[in-house]
Structures are given as structure tokens and as C-alpha cells.
Amino acid sequence: MRAKIVAGNWKMHGTRAESATLIDAIIAGLRADSAQCVLCPPFVYLSDAWRLLRGGSVALGAQDVCAETHGAFTGEVSAAMLKDVGCQYVLVGHSERRALYGEDSLLVARKFAAALSRGLTPILCVGEQLAEREAGRTREVVASQLDAVTGLCGVPALGTAVIAYEPVWAIGTGRTATPGQAQDMHEFIRQRMAGQDAKIAADVRILYGGSVKAGNARELFAMPDVDGGLIGGASLKADEFLSIVAAASG
Ligand code: PGA
């Protein structure tokens, strides 16, 4: 039985004070048997968040990481720095990074490797654009995003990671994949990994992301290969996020 995870990706939202209020409200609303919860605030609020989380059950994550270890890379943040401020998780290959900042699958794989090398758990985001789905290329696109990582890091590396399937057409659009569409792709991802290592494929957590809300979380999380969610907009409202966490908690 894979334990579910719910990760909140705040993107570039909120003030320092709002982020603190949100964290306090989430901590206060969690039950003792809640699913694993990961919060990913903007870089500049990570240290504050770490202090507020007080080493409790909620884990801290970052939204991105540099593929390089250190040096003259103005504006970048290394995996070691993220570890240093208390992060346990980091998103890599979010579709906004891929689409808006030109991150290709090789760079994403290098970021994945950088995260692992510092003991961070990468949450590898994969997913197709609407035109790719309409052209019948969904599986091919997702397979190539996965293969870039396994090609550089090997399949065992995925055993210590989390995967997030996020169809790009569902992110921030209010248009969620149906539970059937999500299950179909999660099963495809797991089967593709099983071809190389059955144990790792059976154990890896595959989160669904894309307009998850309190109202649709339970039916998505009920799918056999959906192991929780990566939540954008709905993670900015404590009550909504807590309802999603409750849906993952059974
Ligand atoms: P959304 O974002 O929940 O607002 O669709 C998900 C994500 O970008 O991870």
C-alpha cells in the first residue's frame, strides 16, 4: 500500500505575512492521521516556512532547483542551499518551467540528478499539452519526459522520487482530467517503469495535478494508481487544501 502525498505548489503568490498565516492554518487543521503533506512556497519564504513548520509532520519543498552545484549562476538556487534551509522535496520540470523558461527534458533530468545528489526528493512533473493530447501523442510525450530522467539517472533513481502527472491543459484552467483519464496515464507511467524494475514501479508515488479541488479530489484519489495530488491554486486556501488532504487521508 503506497502512502498518499499531497503537495501544495504556491507558485509566485502571496506575501510573507500571507504565507505565514497559510502555514499556521494548515498546521492547525491537520489531523493526526492526515496524509503526508508537502508545502512548496516561493524561495524567499522557505526559511520562514521552515521555522513555522517546526520540524513537524509537514514537509518543506521548493518549486525549482539549479542543475549546477555552485558558482557563477546569478539568480539560481542550488540543491545544497535548499537542503540547508530545511527542504526535503523539490519540484523539477513543472510545465511552467518547461514552457515559459525553456527547460528541456535533459535540463530537467540534470535538475533531478542534482536534487538526488543532495538527498532531496525530486517531484518530477510530466504531462502533455492540449495539442499533443488531441494529436494522440500523450503517451509518447510523457514517455519521453520520463525516459530523459531514467536515461541520465537510471530507473533506480525513480525509486527515491515522486512523479506528478500534470496534463498541461488542466493546470490552472479549472478543467480537470477525469478520474479515468488520470488513471489511464498513471497506469501507463507505472507500467513503463515496471518494464525495467517491477518493485520500483509498484512503490513509486504518482501524484495527479491539474485543477484538483476539494470537490474532485476524492474521486481522483480513489483511482488505484493515483497516490495523491500536486495542488496549485487550491493550496492557497487553507480550508480547501485541508479538504484535499482529508480526501487523501481516507
Ligand atoms: P492547479 O496547478 O492546481 O492550479 O491546476 C497545479 C500545478 O501547477 O502544479
What percent of the chain shows pLDDT beyond 90? 96
3-state secondary structure of 7: strand
44-86 pLDDT, tens digit per residue, is: 999 999 999 988 999 999 999 999 999 999 999 999 999 999 9
Determine if ligand 1 sits within 6 Å of the CB of residue 176.
no
3-state secondary structure of 57: coil
Determine if ligand 1 sits within 6 Å of the CB of residue 142.
no
Per the annotation, the verdict on 166 as an active-site residue is yes
Determine if ligand 1 sits within 6 Å of the CB of residue 168.
no
Amino acid 171: pLDDT: 93
Determine if ligand 1 sits within 6 Å of the CB of residue 231.
yes
Residue with CA at minimum distance from ligand 1 atom 6: 232
pLDDT class of 250 with cuts at 50, 70, 90:
low
Question: CA–CA separation, 182 vs 230, rounded Å?
Answer: 13
Residue with CA at minimum distance from ligand 1 atom 7: 232
Q: Which residues pair with 40 in a beta bridge?
A: 9
175-233 pLDDT, tens digit per residue, is: 999 999 999 999 999 999 999 999 999 999 999 999 999 999 999 999 999 999 999 99
Determine if ligand 1 sits within 6 Å of the CB of residue 211.
yes
Q: Comparing C-alpha atoms, which of 66, 54, 67 is closest to residue 27?
A: 54
Q: Comparing C-alpha atoms, which of 110, 63, 68, 53 is closest to residue 89?
A: 63
Per the annotation, the verdict on 94 as an active-site residue is yes
38-51 pLDDT, tens digit per residue, is: 999 999 999 999 99
- pTM, two decimals, is 0.97
Q: Which atom of ligand 1 is nearest to the CA of 96?
A: 8
Choosing from 103, 166, 186, 240, the catalytic residue is 166
Amino acid 1: pLDDT: 78
